[in-house]
Structure 1
Amino acid sequence: MTSVLSITLLTLVLSGPLMAFVPIGGGASTHVSITGTALLQKVTETCRAVAEAAGHEFKPTGSSPEELVQACLGPTATGEVSGAKFHSALQEIYTQNGLVDRDFVNSAPHHFNSEAFLEGRGLIMEGIVAIKANIRRESFQAARETLGRVLHTLQDFYSHSNWVELGYTEPYINLIRPDLPLENLADVNTATCSDCASGTCPNSILPNILKEKKLTSGYMGIFSAAKPKGKCSHGGAADLTSTAEPRGGISKDERRSDNVALHNAAVNAATDASLQLLEDIRLAAGDNDFLRMMGIARSSIVCFVIDTTGSMSDDIKEAREVVYEIIDSKKGTQDEPSEYILVPFNDPHFGPLIKTTDSDTMKREISKLRASGGGDIPEMCLSGLQLALTGAPDSSHIYVFTDAQAKDIALKATIVSLIRSSKSTVSFFMTGPSRRSRRSLLASSFEDYKDLALASGGQAIQVSKSQLPQATDVILDTSTSALVTVLQRARNPGQKEIFPFMLDESLKNITIYITGQSITFTLTNPAGVSQNHNEASGKLGTIRTVGNLWRIRLHADNKSGTWQINIISNKPYTLKVTGQSTITFIYDFVESFGGPHPGYAVLSGRPQAGQPATLMLSVMGRKGPSSMTIGDVALVTVSGPETVRNSTTSDMGNGDILVTVDGVPEGEFVVILKGTDKVSGSEFQRQSTTQMSISKVNIKAVVDSSMEPGKTFYLPFSVMTKGSGGQYSISARNDKSFPMSNPASLTLTTGQYANSTITITPPADTPSGTDVTLTLEAKLSSGVDSNYVVLRFSVVNKITDFVPPLCEVVHVLADDCPQDVSQCEPFQWELAATLTDGNGTGIESVSLRQGSGNFTTTFLSDPIIQANYTASCCSQIVEFIAVDKVGNVGKCYHSIVRSAGPPALTVSLPLWLCLLVSAFVTRF
């Protein structure tokens, strides 16, 4: 049964934008609610298990996701804890779940329509294999995206087939176990339904089909009414086959007066099936990586991209010192990074990307960096940055150290696309020439780096090598939990301007950054108290300057309200105000789609010009979304002259908002949100960091399967413009440098799609689970307009081993255990079992799942492992998990609990049967 905590959490996240996806049920029962119920229950179970294993109590202080994350992270989660990454992970899964209705609307296997049972299970298994391989490679975003799609298909089985009409209440485990056959399927010549003229018959399945337990599903025709004779239809206005005899439909997508019981049964079975699949993934991944996939980890991530050419020895030393300081000063706190990423670059080499959750490993790796080579040659800076943007989690802070221009400046448009797609923030630390080299950072290159920093909401800091240690305080400021942006603006050319901004009571560690030359400013608080730029330590804060950077850290006792800063300069400058707070928001630009199950799809590229922009926006507060009131949401230009476009909003409930902006600003803009925090009663202001703009170009491309090492993958795509027709250049790049081919250009006619294909060939030695990011851009030859899509693929080896490891209990000694449990303390029992992997890929890990005794394993001979367990007679149940090298999972369960009846017969069972027996014992 779902816990009260899970139900309460569910109400916070499931009334959001994707309620429009209605493949299972109307009203409260949708794909989102079913997926959310399962995800939150499984996350809660996993958090509790992790907490108990670590020896601390799992006790959320409230029902909000923020409080769930804080409780899950344990006693070290002191300070500000943001639920944003957890929210984002949930939304990614929901979004991909819903996109199955747009991208595969006419695909029978994706929905288990038209009796496509084998093909549907094939999609599920392909997805499960990819998810497990992705998690092993720490490609968590790719795993989430595939998980959303797989859950949709799995859930559709229970709504679109006659499984519940046959009287089954448990999930059909064979759907996620291809070593078990799909049995008793109706063939194409077997009639399955009676005619239902009204279309609302309670159950139109033929009596002989019910009696013989034949499995069928409704046929779906979006473009044709044709179906085999006597077959059931899906039903509904969008299904043309529902008007052909036998009329009606067996879909349980929506709750109606004629199908309440069947609909509820389908929802319950789909929820249990989702839990079953999630448990399989959790066991294969392990609890910690399962939670990382779900975005539950300390939110701070350290990602460095470092030039390693000869003149960079001082910069490398400083980067090393900063990393050491972050690790040593934040260890054991909420601000301790959950992940460390390092990407070195030189010429012509860049990478590899080094990713670790272990701070000592990061120390060792950054200590290995040595400055060598170089000279006057520009470096592969943007190639290294591309690796970081695709390898780091979304919304990461990335720090680039260099003293040279980018040799690979042709990647600039690709980098901008990746920044927009990932919403990551990139800051550049650029040092001048040293005595070791005549290299210098050219002015044009500085402008390129500044453009990229501004596009991401980061900083472009230019200092001498001797000044670098004073500038890296920015990294310490931003490598922290719950970081939010209050305001960011840029002016080029510079001008005198007053910038107002609102600070609220929840904000801590408020810092103002200004980059530029020949700047003067005055900061004024709500009470009218001011501090000038030349007051290093004043009534409002502490001011430090180094190179082109001004850093103002406000005193902790400053009041909330409307502040302002008056900046005077005739040269370009940027302004940014940040702080720490759990009040934040996440957003996506979306577009609506029609079909049998209409909804909203997240845009991969830029919003379309000439029409309103639509956003889905989720707001998080200190005690969840109910602890705040949302005010204005607007699109604002960052660079002057400032243009504000207000919006109309539809409150979807519980912090989720549909935002429509009729007049989108010209040029680059960001999202700004204002509201009231009910906890403190103060007004708040938050701004997105990533700049966006509109386009008249549209690109369509869909990821429909995994790649296989050594085999060419074909990706069809289409490009259309509502602007000027003509020749558009086509640029396609992937972050793994896999061989690709694509057309150099396409000739477009206004309003018409032009179709083409990209081919990608992963090398034969590509590790299974590798995550590949493809950026595809179409640009008018004059450069006036362009757009892009960013697609994520998985490279997965073809798997033929779907048989889980087998368990045989060979020895149990429990005779000394007393029947009276109260007398158990002095006595022990022991168990020995052998584990084998039938198909020979080999057992990769064995771990204790239940039990508090001593558990050891011994390798006997390939592929046999012996497991030994000794425990107090007070601990009467043992369960351990075996995972083979391709992710198949098996359980071994044994209990010495004595019943009042005669002794039970002890038998050795295959591990899959052991799983079923243990599930039965647990449930009943």
Structure 2
Amino acid sequence: MLTSRSIVFVVSVLILWDGARGFMPLFSSNSTTHRDITRQAVLRKTAEVCRDIAASDGRTFNLTINNALTVEQVQSACSGNSTSILSSVMYHTSIASMYFSNALVDVVYALSEEHHFDDETFKGGREVLTSDVFAVKSSVKQENFVAGRFALGRACHTLQDFYSHSNWVELGKTAPYSALIIPDRSLENLAGPNVSTCRNCTNGDCTNNILPDVLQQGLLTSGYFNIFSSEKPHGKCSHGGFFDKTSRQPPTGGISKDTVDSSHGSLHQQAADLAVNATMELLEDIRLAVGDNNFLSLMGLSQSTVLCFVIDTTGSMADDIAEAKRVSFEIIDSKRGSQQEPSAYILVPFNDPEFGPLIMTTDADKFKAEINKLSASGGGDIPEMCLSGLQLAMTAAPPSSEIFVFTDAPAKDADLKSTINALIESTKSVVTFMLTDVLSSRRRRGVGGVASRAMSQADAQLYRDLAKASGGQAIEVTKSGLSAATTVIEDSSASAVVNVFQVVSNPGKPEKFNFTVDDSIKNMTLYITGSSSLSFSLSSPSGASQSSSVSSGPLASMTTAGNLRRLSLNTDNQTGLWEIDVNSNDPYSVKVIGQSSVYFIYNLVEPNEGAHGDYSLKEGRPLTGGNATVLVTVTSDAVKITEVTLYDSSGPTEVNGTLQARPVSDGNILVFFPNIPSGDFVLRIKGEDSATATTRATPTSFQRQASTQIKSSSISVTAQVTSASIEPGSSLSVPFTVTSMSNGAVNPNASGTFSIKAQNDRSYSSSSPSSLSMSEGKANGTVTITVPSSAASGTDVTLTITAQDSAASDINYTVLRFSVTAKVTDTTRPVCQVVSTTGDCSSSVCSSSQWGLTANISDGVNGTGIDSVTLRQGSGTLNTTSSSSGGVNITVATYSASCCSQSVELKILDKVGNVQLCTGQAKVATTAAPVTNTTTNSTAVGLHSVSLRRPLWVSLLLPLVWWY
């Protein structure tokens, strides 16, 4: 029996293996990886959806769809405006979350045959795949797109492994095996348990090791794999590779196509190409189930950010709520229908003791209605549940979102600070606090008799700390001055906002700061927060200057609201090196933003050294004294990165990164940082932008800075997760290990205790230790979380485990994400039966004739029921009514159209996301051989199609035309 420690060891060993359990997860110098496959399929399918939408709108779509597509090309083509400044940050981060989740399957499910289609577990593999696909559809139905992407990444891994681990390619198949994503279709020609499938490889050559009879009969098999035992069924193929012990037992060798160096590596690219097409087929199934708009949201395709408000609704907040309404309505109304329109809206009210509910929608009018419902009342004692509301917003919003919190009270749940810090670092979201009447010396008369609530400096410092960690701001204003401060919300709602420079000085000291502005930056804005005595001077590259005493000068127009100075730069030539000289001994911050299509995203990754060393996503903080590797993605091919640093302004300390020489495609750069000291760092990149070389003799310098701080820690927190989903009414136990580290290695002499906090954003019942005692530098614990039976399928749950040392001076965390997924028993697609047709389209004048059909649609006795029937093709009128026959609910669909539109395609969806397409065509009489006259109905998914030939007047009597 395997212990938890031996499982961790096994997982570590498998990661070191060249190929783990499938295609290489992320990077390879000579082979196609899971990352490549997922990325290519997502880009191609997204482009196809945008092309279809453009065609239905009568617009042109100028993009060649192939495997060479880039994020920026698809983003630009889908927007229909290549000249505007577009932000593809959400698209980049969404694709990254899918391929990181894909790669995680090799860690979490390293020993699961079903997750990799090993050991001929085709039925089990399809059940795993089906479960993940239903989880995607359920999450999207709840508009939980972040959770949907994680489930989609897992599904893609299992599906892609089929083509690497089975003999589908060796059988000469050139199209995907559609039955894998159609649960009600039988899996055929499976090699039986007693059927021999392979023979020994010859001198290491496995080219022809699959038995000829298996290939001639078209029998489907996959390789057996085991790192502990060499036993396998007699005559069966092995996966192959150094760690596969079964490959040493006859028949020796393997059939894996994971890399070009695998046993069947000569077929690697064919397997990878099929995996791309199969992934596109899977994406098409999801698209049909969720609709085009939700599909694009799932992919993260948006030019704009979300609008996210967390609002205190206690009695004294009437003015603040009114201002939140005003600014949100102004953004919505001014940007509706444009590329600047927010991609989603999130609202979380909080009071005491209540917080929530979370309102998340893509419908601007629904958001307006919800925020209109807010009113200021009650509140009880002064502190409120601010951080609980913020936690809800942070786990619901897409990564890299900007969240605005409105409050005039301290946080009653300040114990959540470590959890919020962990979520900030994990999601890289920016939090800005709108704090009204901090340290008001007079007692304010509350609304409705509610007592005055004065926030002390200590109370406000909590919000300042969180703002600093996220790269946001703590803006302190009076109630009457709030309107002037909310311009920062309007600034952030613009498309393609980038962070050029940011620094927080605490304690404050007079200092000069430089920042570089490149040609791509437009609409530059500078924010300075600090005491009323703060003064500064701004100097441009041309030598012009402006002091803080001038509100409108040669460089900028300045407005002041509370502790905020906002400078809107009005110079035409912003390119070059700027300087700001700040004079203050009190704490202050400086932030410079602008609009640009050139930006970067980053993720901490962990190297796994092996024959083809790869990387996996790192959760938590890097280790003090240890090494760190950062994967940086830059959005412009015209940018050349020359310098990546970790900068701590409080030191000041700067750690220079080494740009790795190994090739990493698609604008990705691996950066290595040695011996990270203790501190709070931000990531900065510098380089050259040659995009404007046509107007300049030499490329211009540029810089960007990440908003979120990267903090080092001497604590490691790791969790062993065996499932990414939880059924309603069930519990899940998560073992975790906390380790004291020294210079990146375990400190076996460490003793003492760790304080433990385990928080989930749904307030589900959970149990966990509050402290753990170390033994040889380590401590083990378990968190158990119980999901209520009333939880809706598709709900996402974020579990954050933090550990703090006994001196309360160091902390680290791990963030785990789960989906609530009800067990799906309805895996059968709906049935469509055409029962009658009307009309004749023989007339040469099509507009003078009508035709129609009536169809009975059902989901069977044991189905979940028909959710919707919609037109996918056809310009006629569709009506539906409900009836019942023999205990089966029937949806009667009636369609009528002009003979100018002679075909129809109905999309039928049941309540769990099974999709059926039903096609029909008008009857047309001809003078020659009407009985044998035929037509072809063809539908296609990905790169293959199915064509059916039927007499014209018989085609309407088809029960259905299968989509797959």
Q: Same fold (TM over 0.5)?
A: yes
Picking from 718, 732, 755, the partner of 1:700 is 718
Q: Would you say the 8 A contact 1:590–1:616 is kept in 2? A: yes
SS where residue 49 of structure 1 aligns? helix
Shift of 1:375: 5.1
The answer on 1:804 being equivalent to 2:798 is no
Shift of 1:738: 0.3
Q: Would you say the 8 A contact 1:22–1:31 is kept in 2? A: no
Picking from 520, 533, 537, the partner of 1:522 is 537
Q: Which amino acid aligns with 2:132?
A: G
Shift of 1:528: 1.1
The correspondence of residues 126-141 of structure 1 with structure 2, limited to 5 A, is 126-141=131-146
The answer on 1:676 being equivalent to 2:698 is no
Picking from 494, 508, 512, the partner of 1:494 is 508
Q: 1:209 to 1:763 in 2, by over 3 A?
A: same
Once residues 229 and 852 of structure 2 are traced to their aligned partners in structure 1, the CA distance between those partners, rounded to angstroms, is 65
The answer on 1:250 being equivalent to 2:255 is yes
Shift of 1:307: 0.8
Q: Which amino acid aligns with 1:891?
A: L
SS where residue 664 of structure 2 aligns? strand
The correspondence of residues 694-773 of structure 1 with structure 2, limited to 5 A, is 694-701=712-719, 702=721, 704-723=723-742, 724-750=750-776, 754-773=779-798
Q: Which amino acid aligns with 2:577?
A: T
Shift of 1:404: 0.8
The correspondence of residues 523-542 of structure 1 with structure 2, limited to 5 A, is 523-542=538-557
Shift of 1:778: 1.6
What's the counterpart of residue 575 of structure 2? 560
Q: Which amino acid aligns with 2:538?
A: L
What's the counterpart of residue 829 of structure 1? 851
Once residues 922 and 206 of structure 2 are traced to their aligned partners in structure 1, the CA distance between those partners, rounded to angstroms, is 51
Q: Would you say the 8 A contact 2:755–2:806 is kept in 1? A: yes
What's the counterpart of residue 559 of structure 2? 544
The answer on 1:849 being equivalent to 2:872 is yes
More displaced 10-residue stretch of structure 1: 353-362 or 101-110: 101-110
Once residues 393 and 126 of structure 1 are traced to their aligned partners in structure 2, the CA distance between those partners, rounded to angstroms, is 24
Picking from 683, 706, 722, the partner of 1:688 is 706
What's the counterpart of residue 470 of structure 1? 484
Q: Would you say the 8 A contact 1:79–1:334 is kept in 2? A: no
What's the counterpart of residue 609 of structure 1? 624
SS where residue 822 of structure 2 aligns? coil
Once residues 780 and 192 of structure 2 are traced to their aligned partners in structure 1, the CA distance between those partners, rounded to angstroms, is 37
What's the counterpart of residue 290 of structure 2? 285
Q: Would you say the 8 A contact 1:78–1:333 is kept in 2? A: no
More displaced 10-residue stretch of structure 1: 256-265 or 386-395: 256-265
Q: Would you say the 8 A contact 2:23–2:32 is kept in 1? A: yes
1:84-111 CA deviation, whole Å, 9 max, x = no partner? 1111111111111122223323321111
What's the counterpart of residue 50 of structure 1? 53
Picking from 428, 442, 445, the partner of 1:435 is 445
Q: 1:596 to 1:95 in 2, by over 3 A?
A: farther
Picking from 866, 885, 891, the partner of 2:911 is 885
Shift of 1:638: 3.7
The answer on 1:36 being equivalent to 2:26 is no
What's the counterpart of residue 641 of structure 2? 630
Q: 1:264 to 1:497 in 2, by over 3 A?
A: closer
Q: Which amino acid aligns with 1:840?
A: G
The correspondence of residues 302-317 of structure 1 with structure 2, limited to 5 A, is 302-317=307-322
Once residues 143 and 611 of structure 2 are traced to their aligned partners in structure 1, the CA distance between those partners, rounded to angstroms, is 36
Once residues 909 and 103 of structure 1 are traced to their aligned partners in structure 2, the CA distance between those partners, rounded to angstroms, is 49
Once residues 722 and 631 of structure 2 are traced to their aligned partners in structure 1, the CA distance between those partners, rounded to angstroms, is 22
Q: Would you say the 8 A contact 2:497–2:596 is kept in 1? A: yes
Picking from 433, 447, 450, the partner of 2:464 is 450
The correspondence of residues 144-223 of structure 1 with structure 2, limited to 5 A, is 144-223=149-228
What's the counterpart of residue 23 of structure 1? 22
Shift of 1:283: 0.5
Q: Which amino acid aligns with 1:289?
A: N
Q: Would you say the 8 A contact 1:521–1:565 is kept in 2? A: yes
Q: 1:790 to 1:259 in 2, by over 3 A?
A: closer
Picking from 648, 662, 671, the partner of 2:659 is 648
**C-alpha RMSD over aligned residues:** 2.5
Q: Would you say the 8 A contact 1:61–1:67 is kept in 2? A: no
More displaced 10-residue stretch of structure 1: 174-183 or 140-149: 174-183
Q: Would you say the 8 A contact 1:633–1:646 is kept in 2? A: yes
Q: Would you say the 8 A contact 2:255–2:264 is kept in 1? A: no
Q: Would you say the 8 A contact 2:623–2:741 is kept in 1? A: no
Q: Would you say the 8 A contact 1:20–1:600 is kept in 2? A: no
Shift of 1:889: 0.6
More displaced 10-residue stretch of structure 1: 895-904 or 52-61: 895-904
Shift of 1:789: 0.8
- In the comparison of the two structures, how many residue pairs are matched? 890
Once residues 594 and 281 of structure 1 are traced to their aligned partners in structure 2, the CA distance between those partners, rounded to angstroms, is 36
The answer on 1:225 being equivalent to 2:225 is no
Q: Would you say the 8 A contact 1:24–1:31 is kept in 2? A: yes
Q: 1:22 to 1:82 in 2, by over 3 A?
A: farther
Q: 1:401 to 1:177 in 2, by over 3 A?
A: same
Q: Which amino acid aligns with 1:716?
A: P
1:717-774 CA deviation, whole Å, 9 max, x = no partner? 223222433311221100000000112222234465x443221111110011001011
User: Structure 1 stretches of 5 or more lacking a match?
Assistant: 1-18, 920-924
What's the counterpart of residue 589 of structure 2? 574
What's the counterpart of residue 786 of structure 1? 811
Shift of 1:32: 2.4
1:871-915 CA deviation, whole Å, 9 max, x = no partner? 34443432121110011111112345989981334368887x622
Once residues 343 and 48 of structure 1 are traced to their aligned partners in structure 2, the CA distance between those partners, rounded to angstroms, is 36
Shift of 1:215: 2.5
Q: Would you say the 8 A contact 2:858–2:890 is kept in 1? A: yes
More displaced 10-residue stretch of structure 1: 716-725 or 113-122: 716-725
What's the counterpart of residue 71 of structure 2? 65
What's the counterpart of residue 868 of structure 1? 894
Q: Which amino acid aligns with 2:710?
A: M
The correspondence of residues 404-443 of structure 1 with structure 2, limited to 5 A, is 404-432=409-437, 433=440, 434-436=444-446, 437-443=451-457
Q: 1:890 to 1:595 in 2, by over 3 A?
A: farther
More displaced 10-residue stretch of structure 1: 538-547 or 248-257: 248-257
Once residues 642 and 163 of structure 1 are traced to their aligned partners in structure 2, the CA distance between those partners, rounded to angstroms, is 55
TM-score normalized by the length of structure 1: 0.92
The answer on 1:915 being equivalent to 2:962 is yes
Once residues 184 and 67 of structure 1 are traced to their aligned partners in structure 2, the CA distance between those partners, rounded to angstroms, is 42
The answer on 1:485 being equivalent to 2:504 is no
Q: Would you say the 8 A contact 2:19–2:258 is kept in 1? A: no
Q: Which amino acid aligns with 1:833?
A: A
User: Structure 2 stretches of 5 or more lacking a match?
Assistant: 1-17, 693-698, 743-749, 934-949
More displaced 10-residue stretch of structure 1: 725-734 or 507-516: 725-734
Shift of 1:826: 4.4
What's the counterpart of residue 937 of structure 2? none
What's the counterpart of residue 817 of structure 1? 842
Shift of 1:262: 4.0
